[in-house]
Amino acid sequence: MKTRILIALLGIGWLAPGAMALEVGDKMPALGGLLPGASIPGTSGKVVLVDFWASWCGPCKQSFPALNRLHDKYAAKGLVIIGIGVDDKAEDYKKFAGKMGAKFPLIHDAAHKAADKFAPPSMPTSYLIDRKGGIRHIHVGFKGAKTEAEYVAKIEALL
C-alpha cells in the first residue's frame, strides 16, 4: 500500500507543472513587490509594455531602437514601456543600459523575482497589458520591422 501511495505521489510530482508562467488573460502582477527598491512608473489606467531583456541577447539589442520609436509615438497617448534587465551582474546591466539610450524606464531584476513570476519563454519577451491590467499579448523574440509592425497594430488596438 505504502509503495502505491509513493508511486502516486511521484507521479503527481512529475506531472505537476513547474513555475506557472503568466499567460494571456492573466492579471499583471504588481511590479513593486517583484522589484523592491526600483522606481516603477505609474501604470494604473495605462497600456503597459513590459519587456524582458538581457545584455547578452542579440535580438534584445536590436529591439531597443524600435521600443524607443514606440515610446516616442505612443507615450503621450497612454503607453508605458518598462524594460526589465535580467543580467546577473549589475555592471553588465549598467553598461548595456547606458549604451542603448532607452527613453523609457529600465529596471534591473537582479534577483530574478520578476522573471520567475512572468517566466518569459525566451529572450526578449514582452507582455502587452491593457488599461485594466490584463495581459493581452505575449511577444517572444524580436525580428526587426515585422515585430515592430505587430507591436504597433496591437498597441493601437488597445490605446
Partner 1 sequence: MRNPIRILGGILILGAVSCSPHLVRVKPYERGNLAREVMSAELDQLQKAMTEHAYFSREASSGGGGVGGGGCGCN
Give residues in contact with partner 1 (CB under 8 A).
Answer: 3, 7, 10, 13-14, 17-18, 52, 54-60, 86-89, 92, 112, 115-116, 119-125, 141-143
Task: Indicate the residue among 66 and 75 with the shorter CB distance to partner 1.
Answer: 66
- Alpha-carbon distances, residue 26 vs 34, 87, 88, 109, 128 (angstroms): 16, 26, 27, 21, 11
Pick between residue 7 and residue 157 the one whose CB is nearest to partner 1: 7
Cell of 57: 541577447
Tell how strand 106-108 and strand 79-85 pair up.
Answer: parallel
Q: Which is nearer to partner 1, 88 or 156 (CB)?
A: 88
Q: How far is the CB of 115 from partner 1 (least distance, A)?
A: 4
**By 3-state DSSP, what share of the chain in percent is helix, strand and coil, each rounded to 5?**
45, 20, 40
CB-wise, 74 or 151, nearer to partner 1? Answer: 151
> Residue 91: CA atoms inside 13 Å, Cβ hemisphere, count?
0
- Tell me the closest approach of the beta carbon of residue 123 to partner 1, in angstroms: 5
Least distance between partner 1 and beta carbon 49 (Å):
17
Neighbours of 48 (CB within 10 A): 23
Instruction: Provide, rounded to whole angstroms, the least separation between the CB of residue 9 and partner 1.
Output: 10
